[in-house]
Amino acid sequence: MTLTPYCTVEDVKDISRVTHKKIGLDKATQPEKLDEILSKWILEATALINDYTNNPLTSEEYTAQETKYYVYRNVASRIVANMCALAAAYKSHSVVKINDWTIGTIPSEIFPLKIKQELDNYKSESTGNSLGFGILTVKGRGIFNENRDKIG
């Protein structure tokens, strides 16, 4: 299955203002590398949205460009912008300050709860099958024979 990206490289550049230099690329020697990385991250963001909602955009929704399309596009752009910010932070990871003895780490959450909540109206919840049949497995310690006498 081929993913249809929910945003464009230009959408990400508009929201993140990412540049070659910000994420440690040399524009002179790798002019296309930034767009390649962003395109890959856009597909990853699209997959994250699909996995979270279990309700991908249909081709009709993509073409109609109504509310769901714009929500998914915005969320995908922001997920990728978060990836850009994280890449920039990792590039210049000097977080040590003179006379500052606190220890901190770079936050690495690219798909935070607040963004997920924006997709909650589009989540598709699975509800079990129509037969109402389920399987419950209970495991205990040891091995039992057919009379339930512990043998191991």
Q: What is the DSSP letter of 120?
A: G
Domain assignment of residue 37, given as a range: 9-122
Classify residue 108: in a domain, yes or no.
yes
- Bridge partner residues of 150 (DSSP): 144
Classify residue 133: in a domain, yes or no.
no
Q: Is the pLDDT of residue 65 over 50?
A: yes
Q: What residue spans of 17-140 are helical by DSSP H?
A: 33-53, 59-64, 67-91, 113-119
Classify residue 89: in a domain, yes or no.
yes
pLDDT tens per residue, range 76-105: 999 999 999 988 887 766 555 566 666 666
Structure tokens at 143: 């091995």
The number of folded domains in the chain is 1
Classify residue 146: in a domain, yes or no.
no
Classify residue 20: in a domain, yes or no.
yes
Of 89, 3, 106, nearest in space to 45 by CA:
3
Classify residue 14: in a domain, yes or no.
yes
Classify residue 132: in a domain, yes or no.
no
pTM: 0.73
